[in-house]
Amino acid sequence: MDVTSPPRRTWEIPTTVHFDEFDVNGHLHNARFALHVERATTALFARAGFDTTATHRRDEDLRYAVVAFTIEFAAPVSRPGPLLVELTLRRLGRTSAEWAFACRTEPGAAPSATGTRTIVKIDQAGRPTPWTPRMRGLDPPGGAVTTPETRTETAAPQDDPALRPALADRQMSMIAIGGVIGAGLFVGSGSVIRSAGPAALVSYAASGLLVVLVMRMLAELSVSAPATGSFAAYASRELGSWAGLAIGWMYAYSWSVTVGVEAVVGGGLVDKLLPDVPGWSAALLFMVVLTGANLVAVRAYGESEFWFALVKVVAIVVFIALGVLAIAGLMPGVDAPGTANLLHHGGFAPHGWYAVVPAALVVMFALNGAEVVTIAAGEAVRPAEAVRRAVRSTVTRILVFYIGSVAVIVTLLPHDAASVTSSPYAAVLDTLGIPHAGTAMDVLVLVAVLSCLNSGIYTSSRMMFALAANREAPRILSRTNGQGVPVPAVLLASIAGFVTVCANYFVSTTAVFDFLVNSSGSVIVLLYLTIAVTQLRARARTTREGFVPTVRMWWHPYLSWLVVAVLVAMLVFLATHADTRRSLILTFSVAAVAATAGLIRQKRH
């Protein structure tokens, strides 16, 4: 082989293990070790100045064939995060090179896998051809430590970013619950009941069923092949990178707008509760504190969201328990209403059954947030299990928190009571004789607003991080600090809130504010439609490949196509009604810009 014997050269290259690489036992799949070795080798060549960016112009020494590969597995890798690949150039022949590798979860740890990889440089005709002097002098720059036998070098941190798996099961459970229980439940339910009467229960059931079906689709995608970018990553894989870029950026944009809106609403609630405190100062304080929490560590977000969600859950459970006692006639001083409020005052559907349709749209927008847990799964200690549990419990959460509490309201109060529209939950508590009900509900709504603001910063930043990691956003957004926090992405997600707070209280920005809200108003419909179409494409592909997902959409493809039809019908409804047409047009305009940018990027790459 005409082997030369240079001093052994060893480099330690960091790569990142993502939770989508785990097998059913929660370990890094054996086949993925080879991929990490390949990634490390590519990073090493890039570090040495070789052009690894495009096949048609890459350096000739990078045109090679792998002729032998051996590997021995010593210990499983069971957590996402850094994986150090130690590459050693053992022999360099005229046309071949033998590399030894060892994969470790941390410096100095026992190897999880070791092996060798032999490559042969080939020309365009596939014939062996000699290495260039550049390959023979392979010497990536950096602080090398040289010994007579071995020279060891740790390459500079590569571009492959790493989030830290730090969210515990209890935090993931509350993130899933808190994602569904927003201020829309406590405030928006009044307008739904006012417009549809007791038939609002049908609106909540129909919208809840639609969300459950979409989450089932997302579960099939997530459990089959989890990915940090959730639905955006799946759309890129099945529909093309343009689709992932478009829906990912629209989703991040929508949550960034939500951050600003919730900060303003939170400041207004504080001004109502404490008139001496200016609303703008409270809103600014909320932004500073929650941005800081998101910058400290993902654990800070998880812990704050845990307590926010816990407060909301306890409040709703207590509310439903008191309501059930009153309906059963067991509440002292309160007469059992029977079916008077359900069937009188114009009947169960006083404004006709058509009124259920627009009410269902309002409910669906209120349910926005059920998918947040699939974003957070990228930093969960047990991501696959967290996604399974969260998505499967969506039915229970919607039944208990939404339908259960709304059933209490429409049973205890007439739908046409003025208090129902303004604050339905406070109105029920007043009817039951609970003191300071209005103040208690204002505090609860404030907690819901802060929870939404907190989740908005987190969700928007993680989606931008995932897009950047997939090269669908500026790479700076994928940079993380020592705690695994994507600081640039968090700051960018928070800027919208700070700007909105300052603009809302110091200058007249009604037109800009309305544009931001309206241009993101229908994103949830487009998001669900993207998930549905992606699931249909993914199932068709896996069927051809002979793969059976462990979690499958019910009655596929009939229910999947039914979901698509319902979502398209919703878009038609929004387009044909004057009060929603402008919002839909603005949302489509933003979508067109995002899709065009995605198509341009896809064509260039």
Is 505 inside a domain boundary? Answer: yes
Q: What is the CATH number of the domain that holds 512?
A: 1.20.1740.10
Both 127 and 221 in one domain: the answer is: no
- Does residue 95 contact residue 131 with C-beta atoms inside 8 Å? yes
Least confident among 350-364, 369-383, 422-436: 369-383
Confidence of residue 561 (pLDDT cuts 50, 70, 90): very high
Judged against a pLDDT cut of 90, whether residue 491 lies above it is answered with: yes
Both 124 and 183 in one domain: the answer is: no
Domain count, the chain: 2
Is 377 inside a domain boundary? Answer: yes
Mean residue pLDDT across the chain: 80
Cβ neighbours for 36, distance < 8 A, ≥ 6 positions apart: 15, 17, 83, 85, 103
Confidence of residue 157 (pLDDT cuts 50, 70, 90): very low
Mean pLDDT for the stretch of residues 15-39: 84
End position of a domain, from candidates 88, 121, 154: 154
Range of the domain at 145: 8-50+60-132+141-154
Q: Give the number of other Cβ atoms within 10 Å of residue 424's Cβ.
A: 30
Residues in the chain: 605
Pairing state between β 150-154 and 8-17: parallel
Q: Check residues 341 and 422 and name the one with the higher pLDDT.
A: 341
- Does residue 243 contact residue 601 with C-beta atoms inside 8 Å? no
Q: What is the CATH number of the domain that holds 126?
A: 3.10.129.10
Rg of the chain over all Cα atoms, to the nearest angstrom: 28
Confidence of residue 353 (pLDDT cuts 50, 70, 90): confident
- Does residue 415 contact residue 195 with C-beta atoms inside 8 Å? no
Cβ neighbours for 344, distance < 8 A, ≥ 6 positions apart: 414
Helices 279-296 and 487-506, axial angle in degrees (round to 10)? 180
Confidence of residue 57 (pLDDT cuts 50, 70, 90): low
Both 240 and 99 in one domain: the answer is: no
Is 2 inside a domain boundary? Answer: no
Return the percentage of the chain with pLDDT > 70, whole number. 86
Both 18 and 119 in one domain: the answer is: yes
Both 520 and 563 in one domain: the answer is: yes
Confidence of residue 5 (pLDDT cuts 50, 70, 90): very low
Both 262 and 383 in one domain: the answer is: yes
Mean pLDDT for the stretch of residues 427-443: 84
Both 148 and 294 in one domain: the answer is: no
Three-state secondary structure call for residue 8: strand
Judged against a pLDDT cut of 70, whether residue 156 lies above it is answered with: no
**Which pLDDT score is estimated for 564?**
94
User: For residue 151, what are the β-bridge partners?
Assistant: 9, 146
Confidence of residue 65 (pLDDT cuts 50, 70, 90): confident
Mean pLDDT for the stretch of residues 181-208: 82
Judged against a pLDDT cut of 50, whether residue 70 lies above it is answered with: yes
The Cα–Cα gap between 426 and 423 comes to 5
Is 55 inside a domain boundary? Answer: no
Is 600 inside a domain boundary? Answer: yes
pTM value is: 0.70
Tokens of 159: 């571009």
**Which pLDDT score is estimated for 189?**
81
Give the tens place of pLDDT for each residue, 235-286.
887 888 888 888 888 888 888 888 888 888 888 888 888 888 887 888 889 9
**Which pLDDT score is estimated for 144?**
33
Both 90 and 178 in one domain: the answer is: no
> Which amino acid is it at 407?
A
Mean pLDDT for the stretch of residues 337-357: 84
**What DSSP assignment string belongs to 186-235?**
IIIHHHHHHHHGGGHHHHHHHHHHHHHHHHHHHHHHHHHS--TTTHHHHH
- Does residue 580 contact residue 574 with C-beta atoms inside 8 Å? yes
Both 145 and 197 in one domain: the answer is: no
**Which pLDDT score is estimated for 53?**
62
Judged against a pLDDT cut of 70, whether residue 3 lies above it is answered with: no
The per-type count for the chain, helices as H runs and strands as E runs, is 24, 7
The Cα–Cα gap between 329 and 336 comes to 4
Q: Check residues 244 and 548 and name the one with the higher pLDDT.
A: 244
Three-state secondary structure call for residue 388: helix
End position of a domain, from candidates 105, 121, 154: 154
Least confident among 7-16, 321-330, 384-393, 562-571: 384-393
Mean pLDDT for the stretch of residues 125-141: 73
Q: What is the DSSP letter of 352?
A: -
**Which pLDDT score is estimated for 513?**
53
Both 275 and 350 in one domain: the answer is: yes
The Cα–Cα gap between 558 and 563 comes to 9
Judged against a pLDDT cut of 90, whether residue 170 lies above it is answered with: no
Both 337 and 391 in one domain: the answer is: yes
Both 265 and 124 in one domain: the answer is: no
Pairing state between β 113-121 and 8-17: unpaired
Mean pLDDT for the stretch of residues 449-465: 89
∠ CA 65-71-72, nearest 5°, is 180
**Which pLDDT score is estimated for 226?**
57
**Which pLDDT score is estimated for 384?**
66
Mean pLDDT for the stretch of residues 440-465: 88
Judged against a pLDDT cut of 60, whether residue 367 lies above it is answered with: yes
End position of a domain, from candidates 124, 154, 184: 154
Is 159 inside a domain boundary? Answer: no
Q: Check residues 134 and 564 and name the one with the higher pLDDT.
A: 564
Judged against a pLDDT cut of 70, whether residue 375 lies above it is answered with: yes
Is 533 inside a domain boundary? Answer: yes
Is 268 inside a domain boundary? Answer: yes
Least confident among 2-11, 105-114, 328-337, 525-534: 2-11
Cβ neighbours for 240, distance < 8 A, ≥ 6 positions apart: 598, 602
The Cα–Cα gap between 566 and 395 comes to 19
Confidence of residue 148 (pLDDT cuts 50, 70, 90): very low
Confidence of residue 1 (pLDDT cuts 50, 70, 90): very low
